[in-house]
Chains A and B, each alone.
Chain A
Amino acid sequence: MSDLFIRTRWWVLTILVFVLITMFTAEFQQAQTTAVLASALRQSTPLIFGALCGVMCERSGVVNIGIEGQMLLSAFVGFMVASSTGSLVAGVLAGMATGALMGAGLAGLSVTLLGDQIIAGTVLNIAAFGISSYFFQQGRTLPSGKTPQVSLGPLADLPVVGRVFFINRPLTYISLILIWVVWFILFRTRWGLWTRSVGEVPSAAETVGISVARVRYTNLIAGGCLAGLGGAYLSLEAVGSFERMMTNGRGFVALAVMIFGRWNPIGIWGAALLFGYASAVQTQLQFRGWLADDPQFIGMIPYVVCIVVLAGFVGRARPPAAIGQPYSRE
């Protein structure tokens, strides 16, 4: 017990301070506090999807810097499908399929062809940018509108927390559930144990009969589905349309979130919320006209938080040992 406390004391302290500040501000400015927190959650959602994709890939030993591209192209394909069929569900599924396909492509390049994983990821990014820009048509809309808001009955009536967590749109709920699902898969199931051993010492996994290629393909494709959901979230849930470059670097921030979260879905959630919170505060400050002449400085806040946090914490995190290395038996 005390051991657990010592290991998690910084987390506990951070959460405590955060809760106290929130209670304090909520006391005086309930509306703004709720707005900032709700916006923090919204901003964190695509990062969660992206980072969960990253963790599936990296835990099996494959670096995926193509998450940005996977999200961008999924956002585009998801939007196009939803806009032409009128079905949001079809759009989301199309987004997932797009991400999965790109994951399979990454696997083909890096697992089968033993190519450099950074180059393979870069290929995904460039391809996604090119394809989505080329086929992009101005002025398309979603006949069905964005995904609908769902409120979870009595839970939604709780002060502050209710508004923030229990009145949301479907993909947001799904992201919150997936955090725990991915955690469970990685740390409780047989597949998770295989994934982690493949990411640490692939030859050891191979010698007990685990197929390194199969584990990596599966994880890259599953991770692609997650990134696809992130893309669909952007075009179908957050904005309701597609814009060029609409991911705006979130795929890369997701990687930072994954590292800060120490390749652990629960850590990732904390990191994504922190970054989302910094973004929300930034928006709020700009909204109030702080530093109106030089808004760039306010705009920097989330990235500065990101840098400080990475510089401060990452030294202690240890990535999977086999990361980035193509594996072949002989």
Chain B
Amino acid sequence: MSVAAPPALEVLGVTKRFGDVLANEDVDFRVERGRVHALLGENGAGKSTLVNIIFGLYRADSGEVRRNGEVVHLNGPRDAIDSRIGMVHQHFQLVPVLTVAENVVLGNEPTRRGVVDLDEAASVVRALAERFGLEIDPWARVEDLPIGLQQRVEILRALFREVDILILDEPTAVLTPQETTHLLGVLRGLADTGVAVVFITHKLREVMAVADDITVMRRGKVVGSAVPAETDEASLASMMVGRSVELSLERTPASPGDKVLTIVDLVVNDDRRSQSLNGINLDVRAGEVVGVAGVEGNGQRELVEAITGLRGVVSGSITLEGVEIAGMSPRQISTMGVSHIPEDREKFGLIGAHTVADNMVLNRYHQPPYSRHGIRSPGAVEDNAERLVAEFDVRPSNIGAMVATLSGGNKQKVVAAREFSHEAKVMVAAQPTRGIDIGNIEFIHRRLIEYRDAGMAILLVSAELDEVLGLADRVAVIYGGQIVAIESADGIDRDRVGRLMLSGTDN
């Protein structure tokens, strides 16, 4: 190969505007074959916009995209697919009512005499899953899968097409640390076979572990590039945010008060009606953060849904300051003072086709001051939204924008802002910083601690062990639908927690 071989992919001077928002401004970006290229930037920096242009989903206002030195005209994803570009989308692009196999082969189905050969599709998926160590049941319906497995389907779908350029837009946001490590290995392997990998993430540790090249964006522009050997997490963070960021949290010890949330012998079924919580006992006191650590799929989701009223309880009790809330409706529970940041914001946290302002009062719109005598008061709704958008730095700050047009991290901020905005006794936070950039993670973590100190009882469920250990005052490890250990976070042994998460015992 000659030294001057053109890059696999080159973006030159791309500009893209959405209404008033300049999402990409004169962006240059080049990706070499055989390398993993990390694309970093704060929420709303324009990363997804850029890769959507490369994939032909968005049309750039100006600028060009080159493949191996030649300008390509992308009129749609078909053209990108034909030039062997594959993409894993930040917002899943799966058809929930179809099976895993159907989703993976969609658009490129094996057929026999005109009939879609589902058995063939399933065995292709199985082979693919085995090759990359991403096990999955090809016959499962996507809508029945937890979000981590849906992510796996997305990844398999991109791998199915034998691509030269693979773009992954925050694929690790919903993966457990183990799954993430595995995926990074897969990406490395692909790069070693000559694939150019573009990898978007907010987790700098992953960048340091896998990237060969790094490009950083801020407010629509490329603001810098680096190679891991010559940089560190702190300087990447400040390049992203434009200021220095506190990567570890300073905090004072908690001073827990009375028990606020008490869970006794809780038994809950999962979607397939088999028991997923087998008698859980847990309490959360005012002024403390209890962190639930566990590998996804061990009952965390069912626990959160049972507390917030989204899922029926088989037996046992959940009390809020002595009042039984098991069996109440989600609205009653919310009104009684339980806030909830759901793990699946698109499904449970937001209405994409409504404005930011309306989403900010989704659980309070029927109460004064947002409505009186059954009639909405738009003024109050807007004032509330203006205040929260400023406080949580939601971008763009236009409260009339449809939530669906926000970047992923800004959607998450809308949910967090709403749930922090009203008087609550308990906050159930499931993956509260999923998809959020480091600057904003810092902000949300500070918030959680502030509310804790003001006397809120906080139940934090996170797949990020670091997040749990960094925030929680007590750590509960969940395994197989049971709490296998619960202890003070002071001086806790990280490796021991890891073993408990994986096997339920610490030896």
Contacts and interface: CB of A to CB of B under 8 A. Distances in A.
Contacts of A329: 57-58, 76
A204 B107 CA distance: 10
Interface of B: 18, 55, 57-59, 76-78, 81-82, 87, 89, 93-98, 102-103, 106-109, 111, 114-116, 157
Nearest to A185: B114
A209 B78 contact: yes
A330 interface: yes
A59 to B, nearest CB: 12
Q: Is the interface of A mostly helix, strand, loop or mixed?
A: helix
Contacts of A196: 95, 97-98
Interface stretch (A46-54, A186-194, A251-259): A186-194
Contact of A208 (B18, B97, B108, B111): B108
Contact of B77 (A188, A197, A209): A209
Secondary structure at chain B's binding surface: helix, strand, loop or mixed? loop
A304 to B, nearest CB: 33
| Shortest Cβ-Cβ A-B pairs, 4 listed | A208-B107, A209-B78, A204-B93, A207-B93
A208 B115 CA distance: 19
Given A193-B102, A193-B116, A196-B98, A206 B57 contact: yes
Interface of A: 188-190, 192-194, 196-197, 200-201, 203-211, 321, 329-330
A206 B77 contact: yes
7 contacts: A200-B98, A201-B96, A206-B57, A207-B55, A209-B107, A329-B57, A330-B58
A116 B50 CA distance: 31
Nearest to A192: B116
Given A190-B111, A329-B58, A201 B93 contact: yes
B63 to A, nearest CB: 16
Contacts of B106: 193-194, 197, 204-205, 208, 210
Given A193-B106, A205-B107, A209-B82, 5 more contacts: A203-B93, A205-B95, A207-B77, A329-B76, A330-B59
A211 B102 contact: no
Nearest to A206: B77
Nearest to A203: B93
A156 B57 CA distance: 57
Given A209-B78, A209-B107, A189 B115 contact: yes
Contacts of A209: 76-78, 81-82, 107-108
B98 A330 contact: no
Contacts of B102: 193
Contact of A189 (B55, B57, B95, B116): B116
A255 to B, nearest CB: 21
Contacts of B157: 208
A285 B67 CA distance: 74
A105 B58 CA distance: 27
A197 B98 contact: yes
A205 B109 CA distance: 13
A201 to B, nearest CB: 5
A194 B58 CA distance: 22
B200 to A, nearest CB: 16
A116 to B, nearest CB: 15
